[in-house]
Amino acid sequence: MSVAAAAETAFPDVERLPDRPDPPPALQMLDGTPVTTARQWRDKRRPELVALFQWYMYGTTPPAPKITATLDKVTDVLEGRAKMKQVSIRFGPPGRDRDGRINLLLFAPTRRSGPAPVFLGLNFQGNHATFDHPDVMLPTAWLPDRFEGVKDGQATDAGRGTEAGRWPIARAIDRGYAVATFYHGDIKIDRPQWDGAPELYFRPGQTAPQEHEWGTIAAWAWGLSRAADYLVDDPDVDGRRMIVIGHSRNGKTALLAGALDERFAIVIPSQAGCGGTSPARGTVGESVQRINTAFPHWFNDAFPKFNNQVQKLPFDQHCLMALVAPRPLLLTNAAEDQWANPTGQFQMLKLAEPVYGLLGVEGCGAEQVPAENHLVNTRLGYFIRPGKHDMTKVEWSAWLDFADRQLPRN
Ligand code: GCU
């Protein structure tokens, strides 16, 4: 039975859910049964949480399609220290006259002994914005005009390199890592219209996802898994050492992708905030009601029913973090970014810890939010820097140090 069909018989309407002012424990089934063994976690509670998050918040996704990949272009970059590959990943679905397509931009270090671990993350403004090189193809999907170099929804050459500060490729390459990225609009544009993967999967006559079907964040996360489908077969990268990263809305997406897809060896949501790493029941920063109002397309159509009654949510975001267990998870934050509630995120991380304990691995090596610029480099990691909401080389330093220590060895 599909997740959706199973949930329909098992999960009550929002109004019939009990009030739970405190975050529901990760190690307790929806019916109250305590979860006391690793087996019970894996066989019962983990699938239940996946289904709950899909049903009430992010939406269900189609099964993984078979992808086909074409290497469009290879360019030597960074004085020969890296090769830049551009790959089209077509994801169907079968029986349609046109394919969905991700244009993946991949940088792989050339001076290395074997396949490189790879950071994979979505970008906001197109591949051409992440790395200033004339070979990088411009996106064809719609982009917001507020981004530099975008005219009437289309990217132009003037946008080249405008997001490069967020993507210190040379630094990652020189530390032995590959970096892969694609524009999130390849999967689904960031506005309340369903062009892209959702539309391709509509049944005849359907014009919007149904109540429990995927919103934009679930679609983006599903797209990251399609990129992973390709990366596991790319000889330049090590498919057992893929690190999923993302900033802000792309960070919410990285956490969801890492929670659902266990091929991601490390999960790093950065400044992800509401709907990602911060508590739905929190009182600092963005609320569930605000996010559903400002971004009605990010979650499914069940989630707004919690706007004025977040205490009815049968989970909080620590449960999504717990789905990453036993794999390493790092939250990175900025002190001035209170909209994303950095302290609330730390509390969520701590509430995920019992699951790591049950699975017999270390949790978080801190009892409170660490000092600024100090990386808590334990399996449940945390980092906060001074300054504003952004993705900078300071985050990247923390991510690289975390990966050096936490990646599984070959
Ligand atoms: C808004 C939104 C956040 C989101 C952020 C971003 O601030 O309220 O939830 O994380 O945009 O994606 O930059």
Q: Residue 7: its pLDDT value, please?
A: 55
Measured from the Cα of 248, ligand 1's closest atom is: 10
- pLDDT tens for each residue of 80-126: 999 999 999 999 887 777 789 999 999 999 999 899 999 999 999 99
**Ligand 1, atom 12: nearest CA belongs to which residue?**
249
Please list every protein residue whose CB sits less than 6 Å from any atom of ligand 1: 248-249, 273-274, 286, 291, 294, 339
The owner of tokens 């660490």 is: 370
Catalytic, out of 88, 248, 270, 278 = 248
Cβ–Cβ < 8 Å for 335, 346: no
15 by DSSP, 3-state: which? helix
Rounded to 5 degrees, what are φ and ψ at 179?
A: -135, 130
Contacting residues for 123 by C-beta, under 8 A, at least 6 apart:
129, 130, 163, 166, 167, 181, 182, 183, 184, 250
Cα separation, 258 vs 274, in Å, equals 17
Nearest to 119 by CA among 273, 248, 220, 231: 231
- pLDDT tens for each residue of 317-350: 999 999 999 999 999 999 999 999 999 999 999 9
> What are the structural domains of the chain?
68-406 (3.40.50.1820)
**Ligand 1 centre distance from Cα of residue 307 (Å):** 17
Would residue 216 be called left, alpha or beta, if left means φ above 0 and alpha means ψ between -120 and 50 degrees?
alpha
Measured from the Cα of 249, ligand 1's closest atom is: 12
Largest CA distance in the chain: 62
**248 classed as catalytic:** yes
Per-residue buried b or exposed e for 131-166, using 16+ beta carbons within 10 Å of the residue's own CB: bebeebebbebbbeeeeebbeeeebeeebbbbbeeb
Q: Residue 10: its pLDDT value, please?
A: 72
Cβ–Cβ < 8 Å for 76, 95: no
Measured from the Cα of 389, ligand 1's closest atom is: 13
Does the pLDDT of residue 5 top 60, yes or no? Answer: no
Measured from the Cα of 252, ligand 1's closest atom is: 10
Residue 271 pLDDT level (bands cut at 50, 70, 90): very high
In order of 13, 287, 346, 396, the CA distances from 341 in angstroms are 29, 10, 9, 20
* Strands of the sheet with 82-90, listed across from one edge: 68-77, 82-90, 101-109, 178-183, 116-123, 237-247, 264-270, 329-334, 380-385
Cα separation, 254 vs 231, in Å, equals 16
Cβ–Cβ < 8 Å for 372, 386: yes
Cβ–Cβ < 8 Å for 222, 184: no
Catalytic, out of 133, 374, 389, 397 = 389
Mean pLDDT of 254-282: 98
Does the pLDDT of residue 177 top 50, yes or no? Answer: yes
Cα separation, 245 vs 330, in Å, equals 10
Token couple for 351? 């509430």
Q: Residue 285: its pLDDT value, please?
A: 98
Measured from the Cα of 271, ligand 1's closest atom is: 10
Percentage, residues of the chain above pLDDT 70: 98
Q: Residue 1: its pLDDT value, please?
A: 38
**Ligand 1, atom 10: nearest CA belongs to which residue?**
248
Mutate to test the pocket of ligand 1, among 248, 278, 337, 388 (most ligand atoms within 8 A of CB): 248
Mean pLDDT of 309-313: 98
**Ligand 1, atom 8: nearest CA belongs to which residue?**
291
Residue 9 pLDDT level (bands cut at 50, 70, 90): low
Mean pLDDT of 343-368: 98
Would residue 378 be called left, alpha or beta, if left means φ above 0 and alpha means ψ between -120 and 50 degrees?
beta
Give the amino acid at 66.
K
Mutate to test the pocket of ligand 1, among 124, 191, 339 (most ligand atoms within 8 A of CB): 339
pTM value is 0.97
**Ligand 1 centre distance from Cα of residue 249 (Å):** 6
**212 classed as catalytic:** no
**Ligand 1 centre distance from Cα of residue 41 (Å):** 32
Contacting residues for 95 by C-beta, under 8 A, at least 6 apart:
none
What single DSSP character describes residue 210?
A: -
Percentage, residues of the chain above pLDDT 90: 94
Q: Residue 98: its pLDDT value, please?
A: 76
End-to-end CA distance of the chain: 37
294 by DSSP, 3-state: which? helix
Mean pLDDT in the chain? 96
Cα separation, 90 vs 222, in Å, equals 13
Q: Residue 410: its pLDDT value, please?
A: 67
What single DSSP character describes residue 167?
A: -
**Ligand 1, atom 7: nearest CA belongs to which residue?**
339
- pLDDT tens for each residue of 187-244: 999 999 998 999 999 999 999 999 999 999 999 999 999 999 999 999 999 999 999 9
The owner of tokens 């975390």 is: 402
Nearest to 41 by CA among 357, 380, 379: 357
Cα separation, 275 vs 316, in Å, equals 10
